Chain A
Amino acid sequence: MLDPSDIFDECCELEKELARQPAAELSQELQAKIMRSVHESLNPERPVPSSSRTWVRLSMASIPVAAAVTLIIAFSDNLQIAPTQLSHVVAEPTLNEELTSLNSQRSPTLPTAQHYRLTLIKSSADWESLLNREADLFEDLCDDSSTTKWRQGTSSLHDDD
């Protein structure tokens, strides 16, 4: 069996040359984009002007519990907000247990209710691309009827001041 120390000690010109190949600098655009994200992530407590607050209500007729949890995690992770900012996250009792478990890791309170509905608060300018990205995730997780409702839900964006 190959001993890892043989690799460490081995004099291998190819390995050395591969290690020496310098990686190209990131483009200025990419650096700026990443640092914008870093800045926003470091400053999440900025107050959201009410005029830019967008509420999205998505009704999902049926969704597996695991998929719903995954979706909620994905939304809160990608939007960089705590689940308590999903102010109308609602779920059937079985999902409540999953959310309670999740919630205990993140924040002390999470409202509960009787059916699946996500209300998202979002203030970033990347809203459309984020929705499109999460739509792919949602389509992977849910059946066609749920996907249809998702599409209908995203078309009903409205401002709620």
Chain B
Amino acid sequence: MLDRRPETDDLQPALAAGEELAFKELLDRLGPRLHRAATRLLGSRDDADDAVQEVFISLVRSRKCLLTVKSLPAYSFAVLHRTIGKMLKNRQRQPGLLCSPHDRAEPTSDSIDIDEEALERAIQSLPNEQREVIVLRIDGKLTFAEISTLLGINSNTVASRYRYALDKLRDALGTRSC
């Protein structure tokens, strides 16, 4: 089961009060995942920069309701998803970009050795609807129920897309199935 620690609960009152340092803290905590998700969905790091900036502007504007948001990470990724939807409508989609070496993270598990360039290529090769679910689940750490609400589709459909996406990634990466 994916880890779902309440990583931002402590920030919500300060965010709602408009404290700039709280937004900086939120940027530190969620920014990298938001940016990686945006890069994977938009296929462009420059566009991902814009997307994350738009997310934070939206969060500032809606800060008063952040106090009552059940899950700030889920809310933030919902805003990101909406932002990306607008951007994809207005801009021609760029071909997928691989992560640059400075984005490449060191492997943290010795159970599976994942080539990160191969991983990004594999994610970019997924059908859009599967990539969307994978990114929201892995980067956003959203539950299937949250993804279902966000995308407006049945949670079984979410689970199916997720399963098929994992199968494709597994095949592309050449890892053993569990």
Contacts and interface: CB of A to CB of B under 8 A. Distances in A.
Interface of A: 1-4, 6-26, 30-31, 33-35, 37-39, 41-42, 80, 136-137, 140
Contacts of A6: 159
A21 B90 contact: no
B52 A30 contact: yes
Given A15-B2, A16-B109, A39 B20 contact: yes
B114 A17 contact: yes
B108 A20 contact: yes
Q: Helix, strand, loop or mixed for chain B's interface?
A: helix
Interface residues of B, number: 56
Contact of B90 (A23, A31, A136): A136
B156 A34 contact: no
Interface stretch (B6-14, B56-64, B69-77): B56-64
Contacts, number: 129
Interface string B94-124: 0000010011111011011010100100000
A160 to B, nearest CB: 27
Contact of A12 (B90, B104, B156, B178): B178
B158 A4 contact: yes
Interface of A is mostly: helix
Query: Which of A23, A31, A42: most chain B CB closer than 10 A?
Result: A23
15 contacts: A3-B159, A14-B175, A14-B178, A17-B111, A17-B112, A20-B109, A21-B108, A21-B119, A23-B33, A24-B35, A35-B27, A38-B20, A38-B24, A38-B27, A42-B23
Given A20-B108, A23-B33, A38 B102 contact: no
Nearest to B139: A23
B63 to A, nearest CB: 8
Most-contacted residue by chain A among B60, B61, B173 (CB, 10 A): B60
B163 interface: yes
Interface of B: 1-3, 18, 20, 23-24, 27, 31-33, 35-36, 49, 52-53, 56-57, 60-61, 90-91, 99, 102-106, 108-109, 111-112, 114, 116, 119, 134, 138-139, 141, 144-145, 155-156, 158-160, 162-163, 166, 169-170, 173, 175-178
Nearest to B103: A24
Given A12-B166, A15-B2, A25-B32, A34 B114 contact: no
Contacts of B169: 14, 18
Nearest to A18: B138
A41 B105 contact: no
A6 B144 CA distance: 11
B105 A31 contact: no
Contacts of B177: 14
Nearest to A1: B156
